[in-house]
Amino acid sequence: MVDEQQPKLRIRRQGKVNVVELEDRKILEELLIAQLGEQLGSLVDAEAEPRLVLDFKKVEHLSSAALGILITLDKQVKGRRGKLALANIQPQIYEVFKITRLNKLFSIQDTADAAVQALA
């Protein structure tokens, strides 16, 4: 069966920074993750030096495949001399980043505003 679920993103511009709110509670579906990667990748490709904040406020579950997309996105951003920050990660999800030590790889801030400041 083909899963037609699309990732739900709310994008707003704050100065030079694109703030993307991830609206899905669960980021588990393989197709959804792939589409999320494509959509975020397009956002990065649209700018010379992209500055991107991903807001995880609503995310309650994610898989290792979703972590993989974030790593790929981080490479894309750095490849264009941009900056990426993650924000509002719930404690349970932050634990996943800690276990995999990806909390050392990504800039992770408590709030979206703090993340925007970090990229200024």
Partner 1 sequence: MPVVPFDQALPHRIVIASDLHAARQVEEQVLRLTEAKGYSKECAFAIRLSLEEALVNAHRHGNRCDAAKKITVSFRIDRRRAVIRVSDEGSGFDPCCVPDPTCPERICLPNGRGIMLMRSYLDEVTYSPRGNEVQLVKERC
- Burial of residue 77 (CB within 10 Å: 0-12, 13-18, 19+) is buried
Contact at 8 Å (CB) between 74 and 43? no
| Chain contacts with partner 1 (rule: CB under 8 A) | 1, 3, 28-30, 60-61, 63-65, 67-69, 71-72, 75, 92, 96, 99-102, 104-105
Residue with smaller CB distance to partner 1, 30 or 49 = 30
Residue with smaller CB distance to partner 1, 58 or 61 = 61
Cα distance between residue 84 and residue 97, in whole Å:
15
Residue with smaller CB distance to partner 1, 95 or 113 = 95
Find the shortest distance in angstroms from Cβ 30 to partner 1.
5
Q: Alpha helix locations (H) across 21-111?
A: 30-45, 64-79, 91-99
Find the shortest distance in angstroms from Cβ 103 to partner 1.
11
Report the sign of the C-alpha dihedral through residues 25, 65, 72, 100, in that order: positive
Find the shortest distance in angstroms from Cβ 48 to partner 1.
23
